[in-house]
Amino acid sequence: MKNHDQQLDELFVEYRQACPEVEAGANFMPGVWARIEARRKSETWFWRMANSFASATVVMVMILGVMLYRNPNPLPQRAYIEKLTDEISEDYFLDVAYVAKAKPVRFGGER
| Domain extent at residue 47 | 25-102
Q: Cα–Cα distance between 107 and 111 in angstroms, integer?
A: 10
What are the Cα distances from residue 76, in Å, to 36, 68, 79, 85, 86?
59, 14, 7, 15, 15
> Is 108 within a domain?
no
CB 68 within 8 A of CB 74: yes
Q: What percent of the chain has pLDDT over 90?
A: 14
Question: Which tens digit of pLDDT belongs to each residue from 51-74?
Answer: 999 999 999 999 998 888 887 666
Assess whether pLDDT exceeds 70 at residue 29: yes
> Is 18 within a domain?
no
Top-confidence residue, 81 or 102:
81
CB 39 within 8 A of CB 46: no
Domains contained in the chain, number? 1
- Looking at residue 62, its pLDDT comes to 95
Assess whether pLDDT exceeds 60 at residue 15: yes
